[in-house]
Amino acid sequence: MANITIDGKALTVKDGITIIEAIDQAQIGLPRYCYHPGLSIAGNCRICQVEVEKMPRTVIACNTRVAEGMVIHTKTEKAKESQQVVLEFLLANHPLDCPVCDQAGECKLQDYYMDYGLYDPKFNDVKVKKEKKAVSVGPTIMLDQERCILCTRCVRFGDEVTKTHDFGVFNRGDHSELDIYPGKELNNKYSGNVADICPVGALTDKDFRFKMRVWYLGSQDSVCPGCSRGCNIQIHYEKSRPYHLKTERVMRLKPRENQDVNKWWMCDEGRYGYKPIDKNRLQKIRISRSTNGSDPSWLMALEKTATVLRAAKPGAWGVLASPQSTNEELHLVKKIFKDLLKIEQVAFFAPGQEGFEDDFLLKKDKNPNSAGAAEILKVPGGGDLTPVVEAAKAGKLEGLFIFSHDLAKIYGAETLAAVRKAVKTVVYEGPNENPTAEAADVLLPSSSYAEKDGTFTNFEGRVQRIRRAVDPLGVSRPTWQILADLGALLGAPWNYTRAEHVFNDLAKENAAFKDMNYKAVGSSGLLWSRK
Amino acid sequence: MTEPILSRNFQTPDAWKMAVAEKRGAYETARNVLATMKPEDVTNAVLAANLRGLGGAGFPTGKKWQFLPKDGKKPVYLVVNADEGEPGTFKDRYILERDPHLMIEGIILAAFAIGSKKAYVYIRGEYVEPFRRLQSAVDEAYAKGYLGKGIFGTALELDLVVHRGAGAYICGEETALLNSLEGGKGYPRLKPPFPAIVGLFGCPTIINNVETLACVPFIMKNGAAWFAGLGSAGNGGTHLFSISGHVEKPGVYELPMGTNLKDMIYTHAGGVRGGRALKAVIPGGISAKILTAAEIDVKMDYDSLRNAGTMLGSAGVMVMDDTTCMVTALLWAAKFFAHESCGQCSPCREGTGWAYKIVKRIHKGEATIADLDSLLKIARNMEGRTICVFADAAAWPIQSYITKFRAEFEEYIRSKGHGIRRGVSSYTPQGSAPAVSTLESSGARRLVKGK
């Protein structure tokens, strides 16, 4: 360990770390462009200048290692001057057209000018023109060479993280240009990250470009539901603006740092997988296919469901639970269907739905909570839906409660038709439209993951929280709430008003979740206690 | 100094050929040293001789060698920096072209001292004839068994590869050179780590200049004390000075370290052309701060010139007479640095281009006095804030020309360039041939003359 002082603050830090790491640990602000903790040190932007006592000149914090007794200043005149003049150089040839730049509002040139710049600009000459303005470099990203400050974060991301070697810096001096290698396109499974790490408006995300000014965005921490990795994300949604035509509320997803799960990154599949939150949503409660007139209320729908469930013969219902549901929701599935109604035919795993997997982030299981479903439901045979679906097809079930699964997608339209024909009552609970929802007798529109609180358990048993970013769309309600009410109607002894209460009970009843609560799970998650 | 040392073969016809070179004693020293001495004997001799890196930085050579890790787990490389690109400098070219065996002998000795089995010569791409002659000398040395396995019949081996650069000035910066040699872009590397620890292909590497290595055989032959005694305190040996510009006899001169600049111009180089008045001298290549005519009574060695506020650098002495327009001189310097900045660090990338734009405006008569202060500010802000010293080198001409010739710059701006000559008159030096050279020192002259 080394004892150092930064801005008068005495710190004990690990030997051999860089000054900027020490500064970040102490949460002292310092500007940086090329430095990124997930990439190698480039030291080219030169803005992270600090003054170190006994050194003649200011040094860059990203490539200077701490030493015992080092006294570092980030805010002395000397340090501030160094930071300021470097910023002036970076802005010399940078277009000053922030009002038409999509990065405005989250641009580090803007931010640092306000925080560390505020100089009187002296540049009075013609700026260097570069060829590629708003040019597509691949399916997801646009490049604007004039806005690039050549920090090479994207170059290093391609070289070091994805190893796809997409970008390079071409030419020399102030004619240096960032570009994709000739004949290549940026088309890898993690391409969106380059827009995140680009500190300026040089690489922007086609999906988000000019969709919304960032200052209209709210942000909520959550977890990506795209696969069993459970990358930590932020949901960026539109803050309520009554005068704005609302077609979409969730505008984009951004990765959130979690060293144990996804570092700083996320895949494109997850990043652009947010569309179902605002598209093809189930908007109406339905009790029976023959119902005419006004829409039924939640009370009517749940009472109807409770009635048929209460009247069911023992063993005559099947439940297709979902690994898209939260731990809380699955816990209520277990309490209601297994414990209370004694239904044996409970499954959750849809076979044949595996997707792409690599040795980085992507997992082939495209459900966020398969581990939680297996642990909580404890169903034999891996929880495969097929035996239940086969029983339904064979006319052995009078009722089927389906959570989110689309039988047409998993087994084909014929199976759905056969099930529909053989089963008297089909209850469908889910957020999005699909043929199975269409075919159901009772339709319970549920909220998307962005509209509720809860937890997912990822592939390695890490319990992580999702949080409500936007309100449930239309009449939809979170699954845990639907189940809590249904349970109450069926006589369950509970009165849950928050997902957290369900979780607390889960923690009491399931050893894997022992001693967990929302506060303890926090923003980075907790691993199951293994027996 | 009576006897030429480094330049002793420069006027011997065909000295670049093995037969002639060996007749003049080439490889004798290396053969003896490898047979009778230990590697550390060579390092100690080089240390005691006060040999300093003659590429421009002047770092003590023996000390550099001692920075190599002692554990010896990785191979050690010797890289010879023959990317002589500093405007006003053409001394290494003479060694490469006229006495390549001298350098090869130096390489053998240095490789022996540092325990390297593989050496690379990174030669400036534009040096076509020097490359041909060097390559032919290397081939001859291999044929003779002076390179390759079992050199001079010992158990030692040394491979020598000659690699041609592709024209970037920055590749003369030693770590950019390493990147270029590895096949990468010529970007200087962040230091630390230094090349002696992590250099070529991630291995410990010593990078020495052509002339530095050419000194080593003489140190080993005549002794460290003799070599140290040739120079001034702490600056051993002689040095090849490239003298160009407005002198009667431009060329390469071998003179002891510490020779007075005034003598160099007026005694050795035949004085200012046509007896005109001296205006300014750049003592160490384009990067060195300029000296006015009143400042030339100075010893030409690393320490004396540093005390005079400039540097010996690559010992490229550029002489300017009273016909020289300082605005034009700065224009070419600024253009050079804007063109050659690698573009890696923002202060240099943006600063060199910005400065050139301002100097261009001054030159065109479209500037104001305030632009001079902007230039000085840009120069000051670039200095010391980048990975390598290129930005500093770009800043020094700006600072020194404007500070020392401020009145001329202001007058030029006020008169929008009228009444002051733009560019330099086309004057051909009269008098005798250059002392050493009969070759054109064209690269350097072109720069000073302008277009």
pLDDT band at A278 (very low <50, low <70, confident <90, very high): very high
Phi, psi of A319 (to 5 degrees): -125, 125
Q: Are strands B118-123 and B159-164 parallel, antiparallel or unpaired?
A: parallel
The ipTM estimated for the assembled molecules is 0.90
Q: Which residue of B has its CA nearest to A48?
A: B385
Q: Which residue of B has its CA nearest to A90?
A: B346
Lowest-confidence region among B38-42, B194-198, B440-444: B440-444
Q: Which residue of A has its CA nearest to B186?
A: A172
- Which amino acid is it at B161? V
Are A92 and B381 an interchain contact pair (Cβ–Cβ within 8 Å)?
Answer: no
Residue B336 is inside which H or E element, if any? Answer: helix B326-340
CA B398 to CA B403: how far, in whole Å?
A: 8
Q: What is the mean pLDDT of chain B?
A: 91
pLDDT band at B426 (very low <50, low <70, confident <90, very high): very low
pLDDT band at B432 (very low <50, low <70, confident <90, very high): very low
Per CB-CB distance under 8 Å, the chain A contacts of B354 are 89, 92-93, 123, 125, 174
The arithmetic mean of pLDDT across residues A247-274, rounded, is 96
- What's the pLDDT at B430? 43
Residue B255 is inside which H or E element, if any? Answer: strand B251-256
Angle between helices B210-222 and B100-114 (to 10 degrees): 80
CA A408 to CA A417: how far, in whole Å?
A: 8
What does each C-alpha distance from B387 to A45, A87, A228, B129 come to in angstroms?
A: 10, 16, 43, 33
Q: What are the structure tokens assigned to B325, written together?
A: 């327009």
pLDDT band at A530 (very low <50, low <70, confident <90, very high): low
> How big is the A-B interface in CB pairs under 8 Å?
91
Task: For residue A202, give the nearest of A117, A116, A90, A113 by alpha carbon.
Answer: A90
pLDDT in tens, A23-68: 999 999 999 999 999 999 999 999 999 999 999 999 999 999 999 9
- What's the pLDDT at B433? 38
Per CB-CB distance under 8 Å, the chain B contacts of A123 are 354
- What's the pLDDT at B443? 35
Instruction: Say which residue the tokens 């390489």 belong to.
Output: B107
What does each C-alpha distance from B210 to B21, B146, B215 come to in angstroms?
A: 17, 18, 9
CA A479 to CA A445: how far, in whole Å?
A: 9
What does each C-alpha distance from B184 to A155, A170, B172, B176, B342 come to in angstroms?
A: 14, 12, 14, 9, 13
Report yes or no: A66 and A13 within 8 Å, Cβ to Cβ.
Answer: yes
Q: Would you call B296 helix, strand, or coil by DSSP?
A: coil
pLDDT in tens, A417-434: 999 999 999 999 999 999
What does each C-alpha distance from B245 to A244, B127, B448 come to in angstroms?
A: 71, 21, 6
Q: Is the pLDDT of residue B450 over 70?
A: no
Q: What are the structure tokens assigned to A430, written together?
A: 């889910």
The arithmetic mean of pLDDT across residues B195-204, rounded, is 97
DSSP-derived secondary structure for A66-119 = --TT-EEESSSHHHHHHHHHHHHHHHHTS---GGG-TTTTS-HHHHHIIIII--
Q: Are strands B291-292 and B278-282 parallel, antiparallel or unpaired?
A: antiparallel
pLDDT in tens, B370-403: 999 999 999 999 999 999 999 999 999 999 999 9
Report yes or no: A280 and A432 within 8 Å, Cβ to Cβ.
Answer: yes
**Does this model's pTM top 0.90?**
yes
pLDDT band at B361 (very low <50, low <70, confident <90, very high): very high
The arithmetic mean of pLDDT across residues B295-315, rounded, is 94
Pick from A63, A125, A176: which is nearest to B343 by CB?
A176
Task: For residue A89, give the nearest of A41, A42, A151 by alpha carbon.
Answer: A151
- What's the pLDDT at A527? 96
pLDDT in tens, A187-232: 999 999 999 999 999 999 999 999 999 999 999 999 999 999 999 9
Residues forming a β-bridge with B252: B242
- Which amino acid is it at B60? P
Q: Is the pLDDT of residue B419 over 70?
A: no
Q: How far is A139 from chain B (nearest CA, A)?
A: 28
Q: Is the pLDDT of residue B451 over 50?
A: no
pLDDT in tens, B211-258: 999 999 999 999 999 999 998 888 889 999 999 999 999 999 999 989
* B354 touching chain A per CB within 8 A: yes
Are B350 and A44 an interchain contact pair (Cβ–Cβ within 8 Å)?
Answer: no
pLDDT in tens, B238-248: 999 999 999 99
Contacts of B220 (CB under 8 A, 6+ apart): B29, B30, B32, B33, B42, B45, B109
Are A93 and B353 an interchain contact pair (Cβ–Cβ within 8 Å)?
Answer: yes
Task: For residue A349, give the nearest of A329, A379, A305, A313 by alpha carbon.
Answer: A379
Q: Which residue of A has its CA nearest to B340?
A: A173
Q: Would you call A338 helix, strand, or coil by DSSP?
A: helix
- What's the pLDDT at A243? 66
Report yes or no: A482 and A429 within 8 Å, Cβ to Cβ.
Answer: yes
Q: Would you call B251 helix, strand, or coil by DSSP?
A: strand
pLDDT in tens, B74-86: 999 999 999 999 9
pLDDT band at A242 (very low <50, low <70, confident <90, very high): low
Interface of B with A in 364-403 (CB under 8 A): 371, 374, 377, 381-382, 384-387
pLDDT band at B431 (very low <50, low <70, confident <90, very high): very low
Of all residues in chain B, what percent carry a pLDDT higher than 90?
88
DSSP-derived secondary structure for B397-446 = HHHHHHHHTHHHHHHHHHTTTTTS-SS-------SSPPSS--S--HHHHH
- Find the chain A residues whose C-beta atoms sit closer than 8 A to any C-beta of B: 41-47, 49, 57-58, 63, 82, 85-86, 88-90, 92-93, 122-126, 128, 149-150, 169, 171-176
* B76 touching chain A per CB within 8 A: no
Pick from B168, B350, B382: which is nearest to A174 by CB?
B350
Task: For residue B391, give the nearest of A79, A94, A89, A53 by alpha carbon.
Answer: A89
Q: What is the mean pLDDT of chain A?
A: 95
Q: What are the structure tokens assigned to B193, written together?
A: 């780590």
Per the model's pLDDT, the better-predicted residue between B428 and A530 turns out to be A530
Longest dimension (CA), chain A: 86
CA B115 to CA B104: how far, in whole Å?
A: 16
Per CB-CB distance under 8 Å, the chain B contacts of A175 are 343, 353
The arithmetic mean of pLDDT across residues A108-134, rounded, is 94
The arithmetic mean of pLDDT across residues A460-466, rounded, is 97
Residue A154 is inside which H or E element, if any? Answer: helix A153-156
Contacts of A381 (CB under 8 A, 6+ apart): A387
Task: For residue A94, give the nearest of A338, A86, B415 by alpha carbon.
Answer: A86
- Scanning A193-324, the segments in alpha helix (DSSP H) are 193-197, 268-271, 298-311
Per CB-CB distance under 8 Å, the chain A contacts of B352 are 173-174
pLDDT band at B425 (very low <50, low <70, confident <90, very high): very low
- Which amino acid is it at A421? K
Phi, psi of B97 (to 5 degrees): -90, -35
Q: In terms of C-beta density within 10 A (0-12 exposed, 13-18 middle, 19 or more buried), how is residue A24 classed?
A: middle
pLDDT in tens, A299-335: 999 999 999 999 998 889 999 999 999 999 999 999 9
Contacts of A292 (CB under 8 A, 6+ apart): none
Q: Is the pLDDT of residue B159 over 90?
A: yes
* B219 touching chain A per CB within 8 A: no
Instruction: Say which residue the tokens 């399916």 belong to.
Output: A139
Contacts of A385 (CB under 8 A, 6+ apart): A320, A347, A348, A349, A350, A351, A405, A410
pLDDT in tens, A145-201: 999 999 999 999 999 999 999 999 999 999 999 999 999 999 999 999 999 999 999
- What's the pLDDT at B43? 97
Pick from B347, B374, B387: which is nearest to A86 by CB?
B347
Contacts of A173 (CB under 8 A, 6+ apart): B338, B339, B340, B341, B342, B343, B349, B352, B353
Pick from B342, B385, B386: which is nearest to A172 by CB?
B342
Q: Is the pLDDT of residue A465 over 60?
A: yes
Q: Is the pLDDT of residue B103 over 60?
A: yes
* B173 touching chain A per CB within 8 A: no
Are B345 and A176 an interchain contact pair (Cβ–Cβ within 8 Å)?
Answer: no
- What's the pLDDT at A248? 87
Of all residues in chain A, what percent carry a pLDDT higher than 70?
98
